[in-house]
Chains A and B, each alone.
Chain A
Amino acid sequence: MTSPASSSEVKYLIESSEGNTFDVSGAALRQSNTFNAMFLNIGADGPIPFTDYNEATLKKVFEYCEHSVNEENYSGPKHQDDLSKWDLNFFNEMDQKMFIDVINASNFLDIERLTSYCCERIARMLRGKNTQEMIKVITLPTAEELEAKQKVEEKKAAAAKKVAEKAAETAEKTETLEELPVQQLVQTTRNKLTRKYLSFSNE
């Protein structure tokens, strides 16, 4: 079910890179500035495609958003020591790959609170260390890996463009429907159903 979000009861369908869909509450989804900018006021026609991220990553991200729905409004980065037990468990149960995927997804979805906590967690890995200790903590990528990273960023930019285009298309459709007089709208729907009926009959 997808419709303009006005209450926390509204559910949105999210589509992952595997093509799987799952529900996310409007309240959780509204923590994403990317979502707010693209879909909040116009709704979405069908599942929202966040197809650059796998289901596990997206579910993890939105698990965080669902949890923080009832927390007070975000007011800037918090020190890691101030994180709740739930927050700490949330981060601790992730392996490194999942952590990086979550950072990437959170960054794309522009979820300030989650991105900020992830950044703080990375900063903590570096604090109080000398250069040699820092080198042990961070992996220095090869030229090939950096090239691959650039390609991934280009791909993400293309995906973001695709999402934006879809949002614009949906907005256009909504406006067109709103502009049609009721009688014309009824006639259009009737024509569509007739065509559908005829196609069934031919089969």
Chain B
Amino acid sequence: MSSPFSLLRLPRVVLCEVLKSLSIGEKILLSLCSKRISTQINNAQFYSQKVIVNLDMLCQGIRVHSENNKDTFEIFPYLISSSSHNSDIHQFPIAGCSTPGFSIPTGIKIFWNNHREGFLYLIRHLLKMFKCNISADISYYNCDILQPVIFELFDLQVEFKKLTISLNGSEDEHLFWNQISNKLGLVEDLIIYYWVRYLFRPDFISWPQNITIMNSTGVTLRFLFACTSPTITLFKSLLDNNDLDVILRRWKTGGLLNLEHLQIQSELLKNNGTTILGMKLWDLDGMVIQNDDGSKKATIRVGVQCIEMSVTSSD
């Protein structure tokens, strides 16, 4: 069967089965063959597996991969001015427009007027094809490209596998934060890099599943008790033994209701005379404490300037 094969003449169920057996990259490449094929692939989205779309700004590209990371494909949006010297360039239909691009061994390179537009169109194309979970790292050097993309994704209620934000306290950042703070429920893992010298303390209107704050000097007990994320990790905190005592007592009396795992790393957690639940810090290591109504228990692990608390149901 060397002559061309009429793929779109196949019964819909058969076509869906064929698409299901292709890899992520093969599906993306096939979707670039024509608008009609792209539409058929979009219609078969139900059969498609979940993918993670990693907006990798260090490589200035998009990495699409399966949850187990075995099936990967890379897309690089380049500026259109750099496209003139390549003879392998073809027009690809992407999200309703036609754009030049060419294949590379690990994926494709596609040319746009600017990176921001490129990322937006490519992600729109991918969102129609797959059930996407996004992973993105927003920093000062890429925020002009990524912030509009993130807004659009939040507006579309797309789930984020991982969102990493570096906060530097700029005005733009305040605006950005205010626009996304009520959408953080869509985020599984939120990682915040906090620049200590800035005073901006972000308000949370919604909370992610897991929150990690890398430089958490600004994190107070008030913040901690307001947080509804089941997993909280605080690095470089300024919480001390007294604060830890308050946290554990609050938990025992029904505070931090959703908490499943808390990790605090702080230079101020010391094995000095200050007691926590009537004990010295190191004596807490390995202890299992129970809350007052007996419904939950928590195992405490103490390390050097670090404490971990894992909550389980008493049943």
Contacts and interface: CB of A to CB of B under 8 A. Distances in A.
What interface size band does chain A fall in?
35 or more
Contact of A132 (B1, B13, B18, B90): B90
B178 interface: no
Interface stretch (A92-100, A165-173, A180-188, A190-198): A92-100
Contact of B21 (A77, A95, A104): A77
A126 B22 contact: yes
B30 A126 contact: yes
Contacts of A141: 6, 8-9, 36
B33 interface: yes
Nearest to B35: A140
B14 A95 contact: no
Interface in A62-86: 77
Interface string B3-20: 111111111011001100
A100 B30 contact: no
Interface string A135-170: 111111100011001000100000000000000000
Contact of A137 (B5, B23, B36): B5
Interface in A111-142: 115-116, 118-120, 122-123, 125-127, 129-132, 134-141
B145 to A, nearest CB: 25
B40 to A, nearest CB: 11
Given A140-B36, A140-B37, A107 B22 contact: no
A114 to B, nearest CB: 11
A150 to B, nearest CB: 11
Contacts of B3: 96
Contact of B10 (A100, A126, A134, A140): A100
B214 interface: no
Contacts of A119: 14, 17-18, 21
Contacts of B11: 103-104, 107-108, 153
Contact of B18 (A94, A122, A139): A122
B74 to A, nearest CB: 14
A135 B4 CA distance: 8
Which of A107, A115, A119 has the most chain B CB atoms closer than 10 A to its own CB? A119
Interface in A6-54: none
Contact of A107 (B7, B14, B92): B14
Of B22, B30, B37, most buried by chain A (CB within 10 Å of CB) is B30
A178 B9 CA distance: 45
Contacts of B36: 140-141, 146
How many chain B residues sit at the interface, stated as a range, is 20 to 34
A127 B29 contact: no
Given A122-B18, A126-B22, A96 B29 contact: no
Contacts of B23: 127
Contact of A96 (B5, B14, B37, B92): B5
Given A104-B11, A115-B17, A138 B29 contact: no
Query: Which residue of A107, A108, A118, A138 has the most chain B CB atoms within 10 A of its CB atom?
Result: A138
Nearest to A139: B4
A140 B8 contact: yes
A125 B5 contact: yes
A94 B1 CA distance: 8
B1 A96 contact: yes
A123 B21 contact: yes
B283 interface: no
Contacts of A134: 29-30, 33
Given A103-B11, A107-B11, A119-B18, A140 B5 contact: no
Contacts of A138: 4-8, 33, 37
Contacts of B103: 130-132
A126 B29 CA distance: 10
B32 interface: yes
Contact of A123 (B6, B18, B32, B92): B18
B114 interface: no
A126 B26 contact: yes
Interface in B41-67: none
Contacts of B7: 122, 138-139
A134 B22 CA distance: 13
B34 interface: yes
Given A129-B29, A140-B33, A100 B9 contact: yes
12 contacts: A96-B3, A100-B10, A103-B11, A116-B17, A120-B21, A131-B32, A131-B33, A137-B5, A138-B6, A139-B6, A145-B6, A146-B8
- Nearest 6 interchain pairs by C-beta: A130-B103, A139-B4, A119-B17, A138-B7, A123-B21, A139-B6
